[in-house]
Amino acid sequence: MNKLIELKNLTKNFDDQQVLRGINLDIYENEFLTLLGPSGCGKTTTLRIIAGFEEPSGGEVLFNGIEISKLPPYKREVNTVFQKYALFPHLNVAENIGFGLNLKKMDKDVIAQKVRKMLKMVGLEGFEKRDVTLLSGGQQQRVAIARALVNEPKILLLDEPLGALDAKIRKQMQIELKKIQQEVGITFIYVTHDQEEALSMSDTVVVMNNGEIQQIGSPTDIYNEPENRFVAGFIGESNIIEGIMIRDYLVQFDGFEFECVDKGFEDNEEIEVVLRPEDLDIVEPSQAKINGVVRNVTFKGVHYEILVETELRTYKVQTTDYAEVGRQVGLKFGPEDIHVMYRMGAY
């Protein structure tokens, strides 16, 4: 696959506040890449720099190897789907979608044809003459996607496009967006703070915090092999425990030594361990090293969420087995359930 966009040591300051602190990122053709992070992490700023709405304070933006950071948005082969759709309220659906083609002075019939094709793709056939302000949120979103894609960009940028939709339509649109991306075969750069959305749609997830990239990887990697405490905490729920890597395949925490599958750390390096709640099992105290008392049980539908208080901390466990409050239990997990991370500064 070819590199389409290269961000090299990108920085951005607003007044005296640094919002991007050296972003290095390669984005490939036909990739569904998600920038994921809490609000204020710099993900939207990164997107706006690629779109051309902001100029970076430092660093380079390469598009097919050519520096474009000074290029105005209308000269870029990039289109954006905005958070609040940004449909033009004084134009109807067809006029909105045809806006870009009209600027290119295309033939009216060609425009009408392309608009129809796009409407079909997003499932809004026959909506040409509708008033955009009277469409539902989901429909407006589809028009916004069609309006961007009709220009046949190399990259589609999506800035939290599903944020304003309710949960059910959001799920449906996630599936549809992924389908559209595969159909048109272009790169999607997607910005969201919703980790579930990021994991279910992306080829690559870029986790950001404080204007820095924390981890780049496939959704499975990001979930199963978080590189640090921030990633582990932001994606899914987790128990994070400080420990020591005694040597390869042997880790110590909570006063016990455990076999694990991680290696490559220095002997006796201070590390942090992630135990996902769904990887923990509740057993009889005699069957496990770590013991504790059940403090709270919450029924979550598919599973119970059980808080087990041990001497040193409280573990969160997700299991289908019920354990009553006050019971003495053991926490069991296998070597492959332990994930060791580098220890990082305070969060």
Partner 1 sequence: MMNTRNNEGKNSALARKAGKKRKASYGMKRSTRFEKIYLGIIFFLMYLPVAVVIIFSFNESKLPVRLTGFSLQWYEKLFADSAMMEALVNSLILGVASCAVSAVIGTLGAVGLSRIHWKTKGALEYISILPLMIPEIILGMVLMAFFYMLNLPFGMLTLLIGHTVFCIPYILMEVKARLVGMDPSLEEAARDLGATSMRAFFDITLPLIMPAVASGSLLAFAMSMDDVVISIFINGPRLSTLPIKVYTQIKTGVTPEINALCTIMLAFTVVILLVYSLIKKLKRKYK
Amino acid 36 reads L
Task: Give the nearer residue to partner 1 in terms of CB position, either 95 or 128.
Answer: 95
H-only helix segments in 150-277: 167-184, 195-201, 219-224, 229-234
Q: How many Cα atoms occupy the beta-carbon half-sphere of 120 within 13 Å?
A: 7
Q: Give 244's strand partners.
A: 252, 270
Which residue stretch of 56-64, 66-74, 181-189, 282-290 sits at the interface with partner 1 (rule: CB under 8 A)? 66-74
- Site for partner 1 (CB under 8 A): which residue of 39, 70, 74, 264? 74
Residue 161 touching partner 1 (CB under 8 A): no
Residue 72 touching partner 1 (CB under 8 A): yes
Residue 28 touching partner 1 (CB under 8 A): no
CB 63, min distance to partner 1, A: 15
Task: Give the nearer residue to partner 1 in terms of CB position, either 84 or 116.
Answer: 84
Look up residue 168 and give its DSSP letter. H
Task: Give the nearer residue to partner 1 in terms of CB position, either 54 or 279.
Answer: 54
- Site for partner 1 (CB under 8 A): which residue of 34, 79, 192, 239? 79
H/E stretch holding 110 reads helix 108-121
Task: Give the nearer residue to partner 1 in terms of CB position, either 88 or 322.
Answer: 88
Q: Rounded to whole angstroms, how far apart are CA atoms 121 and 123?
A: 5
Task: Give the nearer residue to partner 1 in terms of CB position, either 106 or 250.
Answer: 106
**Residue of 46, 23, 44 whose CA lies nearest to 214:** 23
Q: How many Cα atoms occupy the beta-carbon half-sphere of 123 within 13 Å?
A: 11
- Site for partner 1 (CB under 8 A): which residue of 3, 84, 116, 316? 84
Write down the number of H helices and E strands in the chain.
Answer: 9, 20
Q: Which of residues 101-140 bind partner 1 (CB under 8 A)?
A: 103-104, 133
**Residue of 147, 153, 191, 274 whose CA lies nearest to 25:** 191
Q: Which of residues 85-104 bind partner 1 (CB under 8 A)?
A: 86-90, 99-100, 103-104
Contacting residues for 243 by C-beta, under 8 A, at least 6 apart: 251, 252, 253, 254, 270, 271, 272, 273, 340
Which residue stretch of 67-75, 172-180, 205-213, 260-268 sits at the interface with partner 1 (rule: CB under 8 A)? 67-75
Q: What length is written for the chain?
A: 347
For every residue of 125-160, DSSP letters joined together read: TT-TT-BGGGS-HHHHHHHHHHHHHTT--SEEEEES
Which residue stretch of 74-82, 257-265, 273-281, 312-320 sits at the interface with partner 1 (rule: CB under 8 A)? 74-82
Amino acid 182 reads Q
Which residue stretch of 21-29, 51-59, 166-174, 219-227 sits at the interface with partner 1 (rule: CB under 8 A)? 51-59
For residues 253 to 292, the per-residue mask of contacts with partner 1, x marking binding by CB under 8 A and - elsewhere, is ----------------------------------------
Task: Give the nearer residue to partner 1 in terms of CB position, either 74 or 299.
Answer: 74
**Residue of 36, 341, 39, 320 whose CA lies nearest to 200:** 36
Task: Give the nearer residue to partner 1 in terms of CB position, either 28 or 99.
Answer: 99
- Site for partner 1 (CB under 8 A): which residue of 33, 51, 232, 288? 51
Task: Give the nearer residue to partner 1 in terms of CB position, either 84 or 130.
Answer: 84
Please give the residue ranges that form the binding site for partner 1 (CB under 8 A).
Answer: 51-53, 72-74, 78-80, 82-84, 86-90, 99-100, 103-104, 133, 147-148, 151
